[in-house]
Structure 1
Amino acid sequence: MIDTTLYRWLRPLLGRRRRGRRTPETFRPRGTSSRVSRLATRYDAEVDLALQRLWPKARVYHDREFTRDRADFLLVVRGRGVMIETKVKSDPGLFRGSTLPPLLDRLQRDGRRLVVLLNQGDPTPARELVAAKLGDKARVIVWSGPIDDPILLEAVESLLHQSSRHA
């Protein structure tokens, strides 16, 4: 009997590679390139930890399916929800937000709040796009780690306060 894990380990060394994909699509990191996919997967995990750290009693829902018209996270704090969309750039240039319109259209219809988290770069063009669609119901911020937690906290809390029924 052959140990399949040993066989899988030896297969690349022996030169016998299977053609086609080796992992199911559901386990494959999302994104457009492998480098960006790895960065996006790591960034989503860091954002998840930050949300749990900043709002320990909140509920955090993850959207595991890749779609352009749904946000990556839903953060529910004190009965109020804020959608969190993460965007990863591999270079520190401008972030124009070209992938945001389907999500913005849906949130505009639903009346939801949105925070777009960018790992690096200049979000000015994206801020203009988001402001044109959602107005003051959305924020675009650069969050690169725990050092930027106060910015994330302020953005989400301002939206939660805004969505409050009481003045």
Structure 2
Amino acid sequence: MIDTKVRRWLPTWFGGRRTPEVFRPRGTSSRVSRLAAQYDAEVDAALRRLWPKARIYHDREFTRDRADFLLVVRGRGVMIETKVKSDPGLFRGSTLPPLLDRLQRDGRRLLVLVNQGDPTPARDLINTKLGDRGRIVVWSGPHHDTDLRQAVEALLDQTTRHA
């Protein structure tokens, strides 16, 4: 059936959106959205496996300035942002600046998990904004659990809260 309500489709001709970004599915396509949901579930399972006594909070709302997970281990927290790439190329981190700006102000620690690719450009961006309070790791399954554990523990071992 064709939508005949002019007020619904006319704004899209002039750059308007039908739905606000917060209600849009994660990712840029349905394939990437499904991959992102699956990846988040795998990351959640890995966090529960590696830190069974930890508290894990998952932000179910899509926003660019909040991390996907908060992992609290031994009373210390690490924000975890997951990123899904559909190709094995470079991960530049173009969607990270709003989150990095917020965490830079808050003084929190951040771990970015990427499912594949070379994270070198994003690593430089994270180091510039957060310094030693930020890390990026390629994690695509249990065979990368050692890297995940080392990155989280390094962030948790920081004794001072940075301003």
State the TM-score bracket (shorter-chain normalisation): 0.7 to 0.9
> Normalization by structure 2: what TM-score?
0.84
- Structure 2 counterpart of 1:52, one-letter code: R
2:80 pairs with 1:84:
yes
Q: Which runs of 4+ in 1 moved over 6 A?
A: 25-28
| 1:150–1:40 Cα change, 3 Å | same
The structure that has the greater radius of gyration is 1
Residue identity (%):
80
Match of 2:91 among 81, 95, 112: 95
Shift of 1:29: 4.1
Per-residue CA shift, 1:121-144, capped at 9, x if unaligned? 000000000000000001011000
> Normalization by structure 1: what TM-score?
0.82
Q: Distance in 2 between matches of 1:49 and 1:60?
A: 10
Q: Distance in 2 between matches of 1:148 and 1:18?
A: 49
Query: What secondary structure is seen at the aligned counterpart in 2 of 1:141?
Result: strand
- Structure 1 counterpart of 2:88, one-letter code: P
| 1:26–1:129 Cα change, 3 Å | closer
Per-residue CA shift, 1:12-58, capped at 9, x if unaligned? xxxxx797xxxxx9997421101100100000000000000000000
The residue correspondences of 1:94-133 to structure 2 (distance < 5 A) are 94-133=90-129
Contact 1:55 1:77 in 2 (8 A): yes
Match of 2:45 among 30, 44, 49: 49
What 5-or-longer segments of structure 2 have no aligned partner?
A: 4-20
Query: What secondary structure is seen at the aligned counterpart in 2 of 1:117?
Result: strand
Q: Distance in 2 between matches of 1:26 and 1:96?
A: 23
What residue number does 2:69 align with? 73
What 5-or-longer segments of structure 1 have no aligned partner?
A: 1-16, 20-24
- Structure 2 counterpart of 1:127, one-letter code: R
Q: Distance in 2 between matches of 1:164 and 1:77?
A: 16
| 1:33–1:77 Cα change, 3 Å | same
Shift of 1:163: 3.8
Contact 1:29 1:38 in 2 (8 A): no
When the two chains are superposed, the root-mean-square deviation of aligned CA atoms in Å is: 2.0
Per-residue CA shift, 1:133-166, capped at 9, x if unaligned? 000001011000000000000000000001468x
Q: Distance in 2 between matches of 1:129 and 1:135?
A: 9
- Structure 1 counterpart of 2:40, one-letter code: D
